[in-house]
Amino acid sequence: MFDFWRRALFFPFAVLLLSLLVWATVGTLLATLFFSVSLLIHLVLHLRQLEALDYWLADSNGRAVPDGPGLWEEVFARLNRMVRQHRKEHEQRVAALQHMEQATSALPEGVAILDDSYHIQWCNPLAEQHFGLDSKRDIGQQITYLARQPEFVQYLAIHEFSEPLVLSGARQDGLTLSIKLIPYGGNKLLLISRDITHLERIENMRRDFVANVSHELRTPLTVVNGFVETLHDMPNLENSMARRALQLMGEQTHRMERLVDDLLTLSKLEDTLNVLQEETVDISGLLRSLHQEGQSLSAEKHGLRLELASNCALLSNADELRSAFGNLISNAIRYTPQGGEILVSWHEQGDQPVFSVQDSGIGISPQHIPRLTERFYRVDSSRSRETGGTGLGLAIVKHIASRHQARLEIASEEGKGSTFSIVFPASRRLPLRADEAIAT
Ligand code: ADP
């Protein structure tokens, strides 16, 4: 403060002293003139600095603070420091805001801030997607004006947010959202939306699966029950009729047994704790054994050939391969009429080992092919059941293939036949060493 006054008064005092000197030597008039002109020049210089400051204040955006001599030098230096500090703080705030925006954009949930009358104050990109918003256009709008599903509007109207709202058919087709609102800060609400379409689908699949299994078991159980009641009500039933009834009951219990076996196989394959036990499997040996089993299943009704074009072994699980390959061979036999041809082959496509079964059977029309590996999906249910099918065979094959990072390829033409191939990754191909091969 003292320094300020010392510098501020230095010039007027100097002028005053010089004027006194002029007064003593030259006279009053000239001294007064000298004093007045000097002070006027001093004032004009100050006003010019003030003008520069005013000009800068009117539009300081990005421009440097003006320079000035004397007193003004200190004032401008302080202003400069303040501006620099202010810009630094502003940049820090912008960076923090960007950081927050990036973090909320990366959130797997939609987040929006609403005021107490549900006007949108801010939202992240996922909330924009979930509610079909555009943050540039819709900030300040009431959310119920943009997302008008009656359940959502009612949920907000009731203002009871202890339970989340499950909203199906939100703006995007088939989207199911779980919406939660959390009041905070007295008059604000945090809206959190989560896409649970996938969970809903899994829940539906689980429900369908239970319904399908119950349905599959109910038919044979009804048949067995019917025969048991008949045998009970008619103790003097003719021997041949009783034997026939017992035979049919046996067939139905076998059917249930196969179904339960396949269900257990599927659940074992789906068990995440059940990791693939890998070994070197001699595919030629495995296929020779499966070929023999196939021939007895076919009972010489088909021309069943085995072609071993590759002698490579496979890093895989022998039991699982037996199940997958066996399923495909048995399907070819079951869906190929008498006299048809079936070719089982092991060959290589580039460096990828391939197992395939080609048949000249009934074939499959194209619209069914993408759904064949769904559980219980059958093109012709009665044929499948008549031939002892459970509807789970290809689901099992697909699981086993994916556990080996292999893909199941299906090519078929209705009335002409089908080819089912499992294409293994090259990394599973092994040169066969007799001492390593698993006996199959
Ligand atoms: P299923 O026990 O009914 O045979 P799968 O899962 O093995 O069940 O097969 C599903 C459906 O795919 C079958 O019901 C059948 O309609 C069709 N399918 C499977 N393999 C063949 C094939 N080789 N030729 C014609 N259709 C087939």
Query: Which tens digit of pLDDT belongs to each residue from 393-413?
Result: 999 999 999 999 999 999 999
CATH of 279-432 among 3.30.1330.10, 3.30.565.10, 3.40.50.300, 2.40.10.10: 3.30.565.10
Specify the CATH superfamily of domain 107-195. PAS domain (3.30.450.20)
Q: Is the CB of 326 under 6 A from ligand 1?
A: no
Residue 409 main-chain phi, psi, to 5 deg: -110, 135
Atom of ligand 1 nearest to the CA of 389: 2
Answer whether residue 372 shows pLDDT above 70: yes
Does residue 358's CB lie within 6 angstroms of at least one atom of ligand 1? no
Q: Among the atoms of ligand 1, which is closest to the Cα of residue 381?
A: 14
Q: pLDDT confidence of 440, banded at 50, 70, 90? A: very low
Q: What is the mean pLDDT of residues 112-130?
A: 92
Least confident of 128-137, 223-232, 233-242, 372-381: 233-242
Distance 296 CA to ligand 1 centre (A): 20
Q: What is the tens place of the pLDDT at every residue in 295-332?
A: 999 999 999 999 999 999 999 999 999 999 999 999 99
pLDDT at 434 over 70: no
Confidence (pLDDT) at 238: 81
pLDDT at 172 over 80: no
376 lines ligand 1 (CB under 6 A): no
Average pLDDT, the chain: 91
What distances in angstroms separate CA 363 from CA 332, 336, 368, one per listed residue? 10, 8, 11
Identify the residue with better confidence: 294 or 170. 294
The one-letter amino acid at 67: D
- Tell me how far apart the alpha carbons of residues 342 and 263 are, in angstroms, rounded to a whole number: 28
What is the rounded distance in angstroms from the CA atom of residue 176 to the CA atom of residue 80?
56
Sorted by where each begins, the domain ranges of the chain are 2-101, 107-195, 199-270, 279-432
Mean pLDDT, residues 338-364:
97
pLDDT band at 170 (very low <50, low <70, confident <90, very high): low
Atom 16 in ligand 1: residue holding the nearest Cα: 379
Q: What is the mean pLDDT of residues 100-121?
A: 90
CB of 384 closer than 6 angstroms to any ligand 1 atom:
yes
Q: What is the DSSP string of 233-260?
A: H-TT--HHHHHHHHHHHHHHHHHHHHHH
Percentage of the chain modeled with pLDDT above 90:
65
136 band by pLDDT with thresholds 50, 70 and 90? confident
Helix (H, G, I), strand (E, B) or coil at 186: coil
Q: What is the pLDDT of residues 44-79, one digit of tens each?
A: 999 999 998 999 888 877 788 888 888 888 888 888
Question: Which helix (H) or strand (E) covers residue 91, if one does?
Answer: helix 71-106
From atom 14 of ligand 1, which residue's Cα is the shortest distance away? 378
Q: Report the alpha-carbon distance of residue 326 to residue 328 in Å, rounded.
A: 6
Tell me the residue type at 253: T
| Residue 361 in contact with ligand 1 by CB distance below 6 A | yes
Which atom of ligand 1 approaches the CA of 395 most closely? 6
Average pLDDT over every residue of 383-388: 84
Residue among 254, 378, 382, 413 whose CB has most ligand 1 atoms within 8 A, to mutate: 378
Q: Which helix (H) or strand (E) holds 268?
A: helix 239-270
Give Cα separations from 284 to 163, 235, 322, 346 (angstroms).
60, 55, 12, 8
> CA 319, 322, 323: angle at the middle one, nearest 5?
90
Q: For residues 170 and 174, give the distance between their C-alpha atoms in angstroms, rounded to a whole number.
A: 7
Output the CA 399–ligand 1 centroid distance in Å. 16
**Which residue from 229, 266, 244 is spatially nearest to 392, judged by alpha carbons?**
266
Pick from 260, 130, 275, 266: nearest CA to 205 = 266
Report which ligand 1 atom has the smallest distance to the Cα of 394.
6
Per-residue CA distances from 206 to 115, 263, 266 (Å): 40, 14, 14
Using a 10 angstrom Cβ sphere, with 0-12 exposed, 13-18 middle and 19 or more buried, the burial of residue 361 is buried
For residues 40 and 173, which has the higher predicted lDDT (pLDDT)?
40
Measured between alpha carbons, how far is 400 from 276 in angstroms, rounded to an integer? 9
Ligand 1 centroid to residue 100 C-alpha, Å: 54
379 lines ligand 1 (CB under 6 A): yes
For ligand 1, whether the C-beta of 390 sits within 6 Å is yes
Half-sphere exposure of 107 (CA within 13 A, CB side): 20
pLDDT of 240 > 90? The answer is: no
Buried b (16+ CB within 10 A) or exposed e, 343-356: bbbbeeeeebbbbb
Which residue's CA is the nearest one to ligand 1's atom 21? 331
Instruction: Give the dihedral sign, CA 358/361/366/368.
Output: negative
User: Given this model, what pLDDT does residue 101 score?
Assistant: 83
- Ligand 1 pocket residue status of 286, Cβ below 6 Å: no
What string of DSSP letters covers 123-171?
E-HHHHHHHT--HHHHTTSBHHHH---HHHHHHHHHT--SSPEEEEEET
364 lines ligand 1 (CB under 6 A): yes
Distance (angstroms) between ligand 1 centre and the Cα of 405 equals 22
The Cβ of residue 266 has, within 10 Å, a number of other Cβ atoms equal to: 17
| Mutation pick for ligand 1 pocket among 255, 372, 408 (CB with most ligand atoms within 8 Å) | 372
The one-letter code for the residue type at 95 is: A
Helix H or strand E segment including 200: helix 197-233
Three-state SS at 347: strand
Cα of 415 vs centre of ligand 1, distance in Å, is 14
CATH architecture for the domain at 199-270? Orthogonal Bundle (1.10)
Strands 341-349 and 352-359: what pairing?
antiparallel
The predicted model gives 1-13 an average pLDDT of 83
Nearest partner of 427 among 314, 309, 311, 280, judged by Cα: 314
CB atoms near residue 154 (< 10 Å)? 11
Q: Which of 357, 373, 384, 386 to mutate to test the pocket of ligand 1 (most atoms within 8 A of CB)?
A: 384
Q: How many Å separate Cα 437 from the centre of its chain?
A: 41
Residue 439: pLDDT over 50: no
